[in-house]
Structure 1
């Protein structure tokens, strides 16, 4: 009888001790989680390999990837408020002035990538580069692995959006089926189709690396003062 009581008491003591240890471990995990600050590097982070990155849309469908620059001669504050002067009289003698007039309107109007893709008119793209396979690997690494390195609890946007750069994805028919527009001045990315990237992959840390990538390929990413 005494041995049974001892076993019973020992069992209760063991269960209580085990429960206490589990509780302490749970508290430690919470404390550990809250010890990380926004932007801290993740311990044991493993980047997504190239095979995973290129199997993700839109890379998995692309036969060509191109980066471009546009709107380089327009200030963000004035591009949408530009009012052209009245046109010159439409006479044969003024045909040269009329040509210059319409050229001036085109030069000072904001380039809209969506409209260009829909109409297949890309004359106003100022810089472009078709990426090689190693460069595509480099770009996909920036897009899919940069923000995943960090502890991020929220993603914010400045509200402005005046893109000067984009990443274009072409299908087998050499048609653009998807693109990312990028505003480095606002630190913002928009895509077509919408929401291709998870919002947490467009954190603030991606823009310096992405801008560095564009510049390393010879593309301009900022406003260029007119000469």
Structure 2
């Protein structure tokens, strides 16, 4: 009886091993230069009219803000700047430039944030930037309520292409190759020079 059991076990083991050998093995293929070129092209920013102005204004915190400010700051005595907000109050003594956005400027900002994205989702990486390790922001978008208190803010370091959101509730946006350059140009266009690092000037 034991011989039969042993034989059955051996047959089952052999059948399993055979079935495993029959599985198609997918060999890893290193990306070619053409693959890299396509991925790079697909990661480029492109404008898509995904959201109307009304839809964009419903994204938090745009839908809660009574006033939206662009600010710049640069404390040269510290190694890393931070948005000058304490206890929901903006410390204007540390703000070097500021601008209250009008309707047209809000429209332009939300277009860059939410209607500009990748050319195609067929990419497997984000382009590396060697400066991303040195985060030292000098610009922020401030959202104020009707009492002048800060609801939330978006902090941006144009030098290292990074941003930080003061709350996870803030509607995030898709990244793409030149998103930070577009935002940088936008800040510069509105008149804020500090932190925008215009290399051509």
Aligned residues: 157
Report the 3-state secondary structure (helix = DSSP H, G, I; strand = E; otherwise coil) of the residue aligned with 1:137. Answer: helix
Q: How much has 1:112 moved relative to structure 2?
A: 3.0
Runs of 4+ in 1 over 4 A off after TM superposition: 41-45, 117-120
User: For 1:185 and 1:52, how far apart are their aligned partners in 2?
Assistant: 31
Superposed, which structure 2 residues align to 1:8-157 within 5 Å? 37-40=39-42, 45-71=48-74, 74=76, 79-80=78-79, 111-113=81-83, 115-116=85-86, 118=88, 120-151=90-121, 152-155=123-126
Query: Considering only aligned residues, what root-mean-square deviation do their CA atoms show, in Å?
Result: 3.1
Normalized per residue, the structure richer in strand is: 2
Match of 2:186 among 213, 217, 220: 213
Find the counterpart in structure 2 of residue 175 from structure 1.
149
- The farther-off stretch of 36-45 and 154-163 is 36-45
Give the 3-state SS of the residue equivalent to 2:143 in structure 1.
strand
Task: Measure, in 2, the Cα distance between the counterparts of 1:172 and 1:217.
Answer: 23
State the secondary structure of the residue aligned to 1:201. Answer: coil
* Structure 1 residues 210 and 217: CA distance shift in structure 2, 3 A: same
Secondary structure, aligned partner of 1:140: helix
In the TM superposition, what whole-angstrom CA distance separates every residue of 1:147-183 from its partner, at most 9, and x where no partner exists? Answer: 2545354446723311010000111222111110100
CA distance in 1, matches of 2:140, 2:46: 32
Distance verdict in 2 for CA 1:141–1:121, change over 3 Å: same
**Structure 2 unaligned blocks of 5 or more:** 1-34
3-state SS in 1 of match to 2:160 = coil
TM (norm. structure 1) is 0.58
8 A contact 1:116–1:122 mirrored in 2: no
Q: Secondary structure at the match of 1:123?
A: coil
* Equivalent pair of 1:61/1:171 in contact (CA under 8 Å): yes
Contact 1:111-1:124 within 8 A present in 2 as well: no
* Structure 1: tracts of 5 or more residues without a match: 1-33, 81-109
Task: State the shift of 1:203 in Å.
Answer: 3.3
Return the alpha-carbon distance in structure 2 between the equivalents of residues 43 and 61 of structure 1.
Answer: 28
